[in-house]
Amino acid sequence: MGEGKLVLDGLRKAFPGLPVLDGVAFDVAPGEFVSLIGPSGCGKSTLFDVVAGLETPDAGRVLVDGEDTTGRVDPFAYMPQRDLLFPWRTVLDNTTLGLEVAGMSRRAARERARPLFAPFGLAGFEKARPQELSGGMRQRAALLRTVVQDRAVLLLDEPFGALDSLTRTDMQTWLEGVRAHYGWTVLLITHDIREAVFLSDRVVVLAPRPTSVVREVAVDLPRPRTVEMITSARFAAVEEELLAALRGGRAP
């Protein structure tokens, strides 16, 4: 890893009668953690679909390490808004799905995913069914399925959106830890400003639909982030700045 400089260059997308993306442009550096926040329904998931090659943009390009990858799925590992663990597969076989699709034998795929179960807090649940997992474990399993694909950039769409606040805080601290260890390049969608500040090197604020970038705010807090930082003045200042940008971006 470490590679994976992502450039979004003037992305536009309209559904019939509904312009959604209005020239979205920003960069993500290799190993950087960038969060996207924006009003509900502004087009965050649509932006991910376009970046991930699932939807074709009307205009604009997606570049990875300088190469035009618009419409290609292979540089990205995508974690959709819901965990989408399949009940007919064990937890282990859910996490290997992407590898199997990529043509790896089931055995090799399992060998690749298994060592990640302990750092992801899932040790002992390899053979369990997803229905037996708690909400937080399900999200970690879905994230494991995403990162094990070893793609250049991770696209995480509100991974903790459905969790209760206590579990969510646990997950954030945990993610901060593993991210630092593996050095992923991450683009994360969230509704939660605190989560964005806590996890990110930079936060991109999107305008209401049709959306574009209102503001980019660098988070200059030291790493690794700790829960104590949340109450620091610097943390609060960044939160304040983001809130102002979100309010300012609202249509008059």
Partner 1 sequence: MIRTLRRLAPPLVLVALGLVAWQWYVTAADVRPQVLPSPLRVVEQGWAFRDQIWANTVPTLQVTAVGFTVSLVLGWALAIAVDFSPWLRRALVPLFVASQTLPIVAIAPLLIIWFGFGLLPKVVVIALVTFFPVTVGLVEGFAATDRQATNLLRSMGASRWEQFRYVRLPGALPRFFTSLRIGITYAVTGAIFAEYVGATAGLGIFMSVQRNSFRTDLVLAAVVVTALVSVALFALTYLVERLVVPWRPREVRHG
Ligand X SMILES: Nc1ncnc2c1ncn2[C@@H]1O[C@H](COP(=O)(O)OP(=O)(O)OP(=O)(O)O)[C@@H](O)[C@H]1O
Which residue from 88, 166, 222, 251 is in contact with partner 1, where contact means CB under 8 A?
88
**Side chain identity at 42, as an amino acid letter?**
C
What does the alpha-carbon distance between residue 210 and residue 22 come to, in Å, rounded to a whole number?
A: 5
Which residue from 10, 14, 23, 45 is in contact with ligand X, where contact means CB under 6 A?
45
- Is residue 8 within the footprint of ligand X (CB under 6 A)? no
Look at residues 222, 223, 173, 162 and name the one whose alpha carbon lies nearest to residue 195: 173
Instruction: Say which residues have a Cβ less than 8 Å from residue 74's Cβ, sequence separation at least 6.
Output: 151
- Is residue 131 within the footprint of partner 1 (CB under 8 A)? yes
Q: Which of residues 190-229 bind ligand X (CB under 6 A)?
A: 209
Total residues in contact with partner 1, by rule CB under 8 A = 24
237 binds, among ligand X, Mg ion, partner 1, none (CB under 5 to 8 A by kind): none
What is the helix, strand, coil percentage profile of the chain, to 5?
Answer: 35, 25, 40
Q: Quick one: tokens of 140?
A: 């970690």
Q: Minimum distance between the CB of residue 157 and ligand X, rounded to whole angstroms?
A: 7
Burial class (CB in 10 A: 0-12, 13-18, 19+), 178: middle
- Is residue 86 within the footprint of partner 1 (CB under 8 A)? yes
Task: Tell me whether residue 62 or residue 113 sits nearer to ligand X (CB atom).
Answer: 62
Q: Minimum distance between the CB of residue 170 and partner 1, rounded to whole angstroms?
A: 25
Task: Tell me whether residue 172 or residue 190 sits nearer to ligand X (CB atom).
Answer: 190
Question: How long, in residues, is the chain?
Answer: 252
Look at residues 117, 123, 167, 110 and name the one whose alpha carbon lies nearest to residue 143: 117
37-45, 64-72, 92-100, 173-181 -> range binding ligand X (CB under 6 A): 37-45
